[in-house]
Amino acid sequence: MGSQFQEPSTSPNVAIIGAGLTGLLAAHGLKKNGFSNITIYDRDSSPTCRPRDWTIVLHWAMPAFLDLLLPGRHQNKGQTLNGQGRGSEEFLAQALCNPNIEFSEYTESLVCYNGQTGDHLFSSLMKDSRRVSRQKLRNVLLQGLEAEGISVQWGKQLVEICQEHGTNHADESLSLRFSDGSVTTGIDYVLGADGPSSKVRELLFQGKGEDAKLASSGFVMSSCLATYPDTEVIEKLVEKHPVASLTMSLHSVMGYGVMYAPNPDDKSTWTAFWHKIWKSNLAALPVSRTGQEALDYLKSSTTGLPEPFQSAIDKTPAGSPCCIDELKYWNPRPFQHPSGRVTLAGDAAHPMLPYRGQGYQHAVTDVRNFVDAMTKICCGGEDSKHTMAEYDAELVKRGSEAVMQALKEAELSMNPETVGRMLMVRKGHGKSA
């Protein structure tokens, strides 16, 4: 990527729908490769209107992620991470959940314990991995784009994509209509990076709406953040692992770790996260899916864990952010816009369960492949429809494999007798689709 292609002589107008981690990274990669006419649209009114945060792990897609970043965000000399230079460490340090550790084979592993006995079950090495705050990483990506003069148009909820017909295929362009009544014309390519409930995906399957709908996995997941007055709670969690750890027991999987660690000398300033995955659906829950009612329900229904994990649940202070979500997925299937210039990436293309941290690795891979496809078209003179069709076909095949692998992992994780058959146990967190 980057220097291997010449810059496009005429930069097409690329519209990115969605200002999440996938859409923002796509803007970085396009700008880095000489594309100047990039506009990002997001339905939210501002980047802060949804304050909820969670962790993302960068592991096997780390080299591609760093390669897509704009110069100046990570390219400095010195100590290396994946050969990218000291600046890559500095870039990621701004988003790390726990920057107060020395990275090693141990700290770059995910450790799993038996949820009944506390015995060590297995460890999965994720070499050169970094666990980051989604919100912090998003902010850093936004700042990098703003420094290059690329901003997000907030409050733009997509309603329709229309094809404008010219005198020949090269003259054809697209227009975007938004819920506020505004219309943007003269768009050459649209990348849908608008998350699991993607409007772009829905429009690609117009007339076949059922084909674009999310499916219920039969699992739900809780997410809670806690800052403990009793610092011993987080100290004991960090002793189990300084980044994150799991417990697996009959019918549930739990995850625990450090969300924020602003002051290395004062753990009362640290925030932990804990998650729970179990078989259910939102309709079956007897309580609200958010707030104190959800937290009380989780505390009362999560018992018998070994220490220090049970204390992490029991001592979560009242009022701590907590929510319960139904885990849904979409098994990718072939699609094609009549123009051949509308496609998908990230959770819009392959929303999957969070097992083995594969979702964002595949999102990064999508972005890398999309930028490469655009460069081939605009710099290498390759046929647009053919090149984009190749991108779509690879995306669907790889995404489908990853989505179904994650669903199978969830099923296997619910029974101690089948845990040993999980890819996480047999092959770790590496690329498998």
Helices (H), 266-383: 291-301, 309-314, 359-378
Contacting residues for 16 by C-beta, under 8 A, at least 6 apart: 23, 26, 27, 38, 39, 40, 41, 190, 191, 193
Contacting residues for 371 by C-beta, under 8 A, at least 6 apart: 1, 26, 29, 30, 33, 68
Per-residue confidence (pLDDT) for residue 6, from 0 to 100: 56
Domains for the chain: give ranges and CATH numbers: 2-98+133-213+331-411 (3.50.50.60), 215-329 (3.30.9.60)
Contact 321, 227 (CB under 8 A): no
Contacting residues for 29 by C-beta, under 8 A, at least 6 apart: 1, 68, 367, 368, 370, 371
How far apart CA 25 and CA 61 sit, in angstroms, is 13
Contacting residues for 340 by C-beta, under 8 A, at least 6 apart: 384, 385, 388, 389
Compute CA distances 225 → 167, 228, 234, 257, whole Å: 57, 10, 12, 10
Q: Is pLDDT above 70 for 383?
A: yes
The model carries a pTM of: 0.94
Q: Is pLDDT above 80 for 81?
A: no
**Which of 2-6, 64-68, 88-92, 281-285 shows the lowest mean pLDDT across its residues?**
2-6
| pLDDT tens digits, 131-166 | 999 999 999 999 999 999 999 999 999 999 999 876
| pLDDT tens digits, 110-127 | 999 999 999 999 999 999
Whether omega for the bond prior to residue 308 falls within 30 degrees of 0, making it cis, is: yes
Percentages of the chain per state (helix, strand, coil), in multiples of 5: 35, 25, 40
- Confidence band, pLDDT 50/70/90 cuts, at residue 202: very high
How far apart CA 368 and CA 205 sit, in angstroms, is 24
> What is the pairing mode between strands 14-17 and 109-114?
unpaired
| pLDDT tens digits, 23-50 | 999 999 999 999 999 999 999 999 999 9
Per-residue confidence (pLDDT) for residue 384, from 0 to 100: 93
Render the burial of 213-230: b for 16+ CB within 10 Å, e for the rest: eeeebebbbbbbbbbbee
Read off the amino acid at residue 189.
Answer: Y
How far apart CA 232 and CA 195 sit, in angstroms, is 38
Per-residue confidence (pLDDT) for residue 417, from 0 to 100: 85
How far apart CA 410 and CA 278 sit, in angstroms, is 9
Per-residue confidence (pLDDT) for residue 171, from 0 to 100: 58
Per-residue confidence (pLDDT) for residue 85, from 0 to 100: 47
